[in-house]
Amino acid sequence: MAEIVVCKVGDVAPGSAIRVDKDGCRLAVVRIGDDWYALDDRCSHAEASLAEGEVWADECEIECPKHGSAFSLKTGEPLTLPATQPQNIYSVRIDGDNVLVRI
């Protein structure tokens, strides 16, 4: 596994997500307070960008903007239909101002 720099800490506002295309990977990088999450950005149901969806900080979930499926940021599991397949999740580490993801 490799660790790659995907963005700077300041690139992601608390309670939001950004899409990152890096080294052949398309990721949604999510920040909730001081906690960081990364998962595959393509919804397993309809290929929509999860980074464009709403982040639910209290539930630690992200919602697909296309059909409303919610995914756990901790496990990648779909929590609501129509999605039934989980998203891959990745370990995130902060190093100074860099956000690194282990792919």
pLDDT tens digits, one per residue of 44-83: 888 899 999 999 999 999 999 999 999 999 999 999 999 9
**Contact criterion met (CB below 8 Å) for 18 and 36:** no
Average pLDDT, the chain: 95
**Residue 46, pLDDT score:** 82
* Separation of alpha carbons 37 and 84, rounded Å: 20
Q: Which residue has the tokens 């900080």?
A: 57
**pLDDT band per the 50, 70, 90 thresholds, residue 1:** confident
Residues, the chain, total? 103
> What is the CATH number assigned to the segment(s) 3-102?
2.102.10.10
Which residues, 6 or more positions from 101, have their beta carbon under 8 angstroms from its beta carbon? Answer: 3, 4, 6, 27, 29, 38, 90, 91, 92, 93
> What pTM, to 2 d.p., does this model score?
0.95
Residue 80 tokens read as 């609501």
Percentage of residues of the chain with pLDDT beyond 90: 89
Residue 47 tokens read as 């290929």
